Structure 1
Amino acid sequence: MAKEDSKRNSKCLAYVAAFVVFQTIIIVVFALTVMRIKSPKLRFGAVAVENFSTANTNSVSMTLNAQVTVKNTNFGHFKYPNSTVTILYGGMAVGEAFIPSGRAKARQTKKFNVTVDITSAQISSNDMNSGVLTLTSEAKLNGKVHLMKVIKKKKSADMSCTMAVNLATRAVQKLECK
């Protein structure tokens, strides 16, 4: 009987060890996939030019309607306060738009529209002659990723886009975001 008890005890110990190894693997996989928090991505989805006018040879006035997307790849939602998008020409701000506070759900992309009024009296004659106006945009959303209502991690979504506006067709030719 001592041999049977010994076998039974060693089997029980082997099952417990296998269970501990299995649970450790599950925890490691969970920690490396679900618990890894990444920064969301902020981008322009589409940009349309409206109300385009030129007062003289160096002045441009237009309205840009842009779709802004916040892509959240985390397993928790991303909550952010009010922010702004700034449109630049040659490093100088020519327009600004308001981004309302919001929340991008877990593993989803939130889309919303912003309107930017652009006025610039300092357009270079090279850009006016070429018919293409190059604008850049910058924005930053500082917020928190809430994971399982327990873990909160500060993250920020940055946007830096360059767009080429064709002055003849009044359309955005090229839109590149980093």
Structure 2
Amino acid sequence: MLITIENRNYGSFKYKNSTAYVHYRNSVVAEVPIEGELVPARGKINMTTSVDLKAETMISNPNFMADVTSGSLNMTSTASLHGKVSLLKIFKFPATAFSMCNISFFILTKSIDSKCTSKIKL
């Protein structure tokens, strides 16, 4: 899996190792390790990571077959990145970046659509 982390702010953000979670109908179906990194001010980084999907958790959900029949599986992912914001390499503030994505897997076209929102708390 390829993850892009974009920093639109004027301060760099260095975060610690973290874990993102993928949910299917309120059940955690995957844990995604995210290695700590420095995201430069007004920059972005790409990282690759692996995902172990808990297929048995998805299949055991009573709504799974109805979702497959409808042609799409909808999931959400959440992540919290704890770290520090650095301004001008002088001022450092603790910060947490939160991200939530709505992910749709379209079965017939074998395509994926995702829409993400994020915010940072200083």
TM-score (normalised: structure 2): 0.82
Question: Which of residues 101, 106, 113 in structure 2 aligns to 1:161?
Answer: 101
Question: Which of residues 26, 46, 60 in structure 2 aligns to 1:122?
Answer: 60
TM-score (normalised: structure 1): 0.58
1:17-55 deviations in Å (ceiling 9; x for gaps)? xxxxxxxxxxxxxxxxxxxxxxxxxxxxxxxxxxxxxxx
Q: Which residue of 2 aligns with 1:81?
A: 16
- Structure 1: how far apart are the matches of 2:116 and 2:41? 22
Larger Rg: 1
Q: Describe how 1:1-178 pairs up with structure 2 within 5 A.
A: 65=1, 67-118=2-53, 119=55, 120-123=58-61, 124=63, 125-172=65-112, 174-178=113-117
| Larger RCO, structures 1/2 (Cα 8 Å, 6+ apart) | 2
Give 2:59's aligned amino acid.
Answer: A
What is the CA-CA distance between 1:88 and the residue it aligns to? 0.3
- Structure 2: how far apart are the matches of 1:69 and 1:121? 29
Give 1:97's aligned amino acid.
Answer: V
Give 2:102's aligned amino acid.
Answer: T
Unaligned stretches of 5+ residues in structure 2: 118-122
- Structure 2: how far apart are the matches of 1:94 and 1:86? 8
- Structure 1: how far apart are the matches of 2:99 and 2:49? 14
- Structure 2: how far apart are the matches of 1:176 and 1:137? 10
- More helix by percentage: 1
- More strand by percentage: 2
Taking only aligned residues, the RMSD between alpha carbons, in angstroms, comes to: 1.6
Moved over 6 A (4+): none
- Structure 1: how far apart are the matches of 2:115 and 2:9? 24
Unaligned stretches of 5+ residues in structure 1: 1-64
